[in-house]
Amino acid sequence: MNPIILVQLTENDKRIIIAICLVIILLFVLIGLIGSLIIRTMKWQGKKCDTLVSDVVTNHIVTTPFQLRKYARKKNVRHFIKQAWIPLLIILVGALVYIIHNIVYNNWAYNPFNYDDGFGTLLFIWDFNDPDSYAVVFGIKILAKWPPLINQPHVAVDAIWSYFAVPLVIIGFLWYLVVAQAWLARTIRAWKLSKQVFEKSLEGFNQNSPVQDISNNQMQ
Amino acid sequence: MLGLLKTFGKGILYVIGLPFFLIALVLFAVFGILAFLFQIIKSIIFFFTGQKFFPELPEDKELRLMKEASNPAPKQEEVPQPVNNTPSIITPLEDMSEEKPIISPVKNPVEETVFEEPEEEIIPNKPDDPEDPEGGDHVFERLIEDEPEEIIEEEPIAEEEEEEPTVLETSNDKEDEEDLVEELETYVPRSSNYDSQVDDEDDDTDSGVNIDYDVR
């Protein structure tokens, strides 16, 4: 960047730059907090893997990391299927409602989110394609003012099919994503356990120590 | 401030790792749908072959067999206990080895004195079969068998006792019979203060209860 341009910045431009930096920092902090929350949730979900494989591991039925990973994979898949059948069923019901609507109205190009006869009739919709709402700042086109409102929430009888299909699909999809995340968390936990459970450490072991100490270390 | 900077650094890392996380999540979601469909097909086959939706894994089966082999005691403890709840009955095997009487030899002394029955010594332990685990049960069966016998034996004794007071019926002395006849003939009920109230003819008196049943 040409340093002469920086000298020519006005106070207003500097304030805008500072504000933008603060927004970016806050955005990353927010992303960090959300990411930490997701990681903590995945650690909590991964503990279920311990419950599924603990009996077999503590009774020394599996004796190698490969056996543990194989057994944990089977148990995790079964647990995932037990958790996932409900959200998949909800998604299936929503999809059936959409298909029945298309069959009844013979319109396979129907958009369930439009604001004429779709789920968009229940939402506030602004016209973000309006060119008057944008301004060019430093060669970047940014939003200068709030775009005009083109739809206010209202109930349309023709859109009743989408009132059932869209919420069912969204809820089922989000639920299924959480279940898939739990499965990912248990898989990561199983991989960690296969390393940790069979790990041997010579920390604190001394070859020259008396026999009693050696036997105690072996027991540990 | 330091925590805020740490969180800011974590945010940058999470932004960099977010695409990889999303790819892994989408892969698991897609693989989950395939696994679900595959499991449905397997479950249909299992249903028609009589198996469960999720058949037992070899490791789970081995665990179950191991637990059954290590905990056989609950089945032995289910042996039914007899009526006499003496402490030795709970562990009949130990009593068999120690040759202790299962039931106390002291019976109800009242019954003995009344019915004068000879005491029967109950031998709970069979010396020929010291390791017989069912020795206790045999003793219990013997006791159960003995009890009805005692009851049966009691009945004739009770009948004999009832017959004892009725001496008049069994006596054949003529003198006694004549005395009885005289007693019956000469019997006169003794008078009481209430005899005047017994007569039905004296209905005029207001005292006492009027027991005249004539319809007026």
Nearest to A163 by CA among A108, A110, A126, A117: A117
Kindly give the interhelix angle for A11-58 and A65-105, rounded to the nearest 10 degrees: 120
Secondary structure of residue A126 in the 3-state scheme: strand
Would the pLDDT of B199 be above 70? no
Most confident of A125-134, B72-81, B98-107, B134-143: A125-134
Helix (H) or strand (E) holding A149: strand A149-151
CA distances from B134 to B1, B79, B145 (A): 79, 10, 17
CA distance B78 to chain A (A): 27
pLDDT digits (tens, 9 = 90+) for A179-204: 999 999 999 999 999 999 888 888 88
Burial label for A185, CB within 10 Å (0-12, 13-18, 19+), is: buried
Residue type, A115: Y
pLDDT digits (tens, 9 = 90+) for A102-138: 999 898 888 889 888 889 899 898 888 888 888 887 7
Task: Give the pLDDT of residue B170.
Answer: 46
Would the pLDDT of B6 be above 50? yes
Q: CB A180 to CB B9 under 8 A? A: no
A60 touches chain B (CB under 8 A): no
pLDDT digits (tens, 9 = 90+) for A146-155: 888 888 888 8
Asked which of A25-39, A158-172, B48-62 is least confident by mean pLDDT, the reply is B48-62
Residue of A40, A51, A54, A55 for testing the chain B interface, max B β-carbons within 10 Å: A55
Task: Give the pLDDT of residue B128.
Answer: 52
Task: Give the pLDDT of residue B161.
Answer: 47
For chain B, how long is the longest CA-to-CA vector? 132
Mention every residue, 6+ apart, whose C-beta is less than 8 A from residue B210. Answer: B203
pLDDT digits (tens, 9 = 90+) for A50-59: 999 999 999 8
CA distance B51 to chain A (A): 16
A184 touches chain B (CB under 8 A): yes
- A72 close to A190: Cβ distance less than 8 angstroms: yes
Would the pLDDT of A34 be above 90? yes
B64 touches chain A (CB under 8 A): no
pLDDT, averaged across chain A:
87
- The closest CB to that of A184, out of B12, B24, B60, belongs to B24
Would the pLDDT of B163 be above 50? no
Which tops the pLDDT comparison, A136 or B102? A136
A28 touches chain B (CB under 8 A): yes
Name the pTM for this structure: 0.59
Place of tokens 């209905």: B203
Task: Give the pLDDT of residue A206.
Answer: 84
Task: Give the pLDDT of residue B167.
Answer: 46
Question: Once rounded to an integer, what is the mean pLDDT over residues A168-173?
Answer: 95
Rounded CA separation B109/B120 (Å): 13
Rounded CA separation B127/B129 (Å): 6
A30 touches chain B (CB under 8 A): yes
Residues from chain A contacting residue B60 (CB–CB below 8 Å): 56
Task: Give the pLDDT of residue B95.
Answer: 46
Residues from chain B contacting residue A59 (CB–CB below 8 Å): 63, 66
% of chain A with per-residue pLDDT over 90:
52
Nearest to A193 by CA among A75, A80, A81: A75
Task: Give the pLDDT of residue B186.
Answer: 64
pLDDT band at residue B137 using 50, 70 and 90 as cut-offs: very low
- The closest CB to that of B25, out of A33, A34, A180, belongs to A180
Would the pLDDT of A81 be above 80? yes
In angstroms, how far is CA A133 from the centroid of its own chain? 32
Task: Give the pLDDT of residue B94.
Answer: 47
A180 touches chain B (CB under 8 A): yes
- B6 close to A27: Cβ distance less than 8 angstroms: no
B30 touches chain A (CB under 8 A): no
Place of tokens 């319109």: A107
Would the pLDDT of B155 be above 90? no
Q: What burial letters (b/e) apply to A156-179, b meaning 16+ CB within 10 Å?
A: beebebbbebbebbeebbebbeeb
> DSSP per residue over B25-79, as a string?
HHHHHHHHHHHHHHHHHHHHHHHHHT--SSPPPHHHHHHHHHHHHH--HHHHTTP
Question: Once rounded to an integer, what is the mean pLDDT over residues B105-130?
Answer: 54
B37 touches chain A (CB under 8 A): no
pLDDT digits (tens, 9 = 90+) for B18-60: 999 999 999 999 999 999 998 888 888 888 888 888 888 888 8
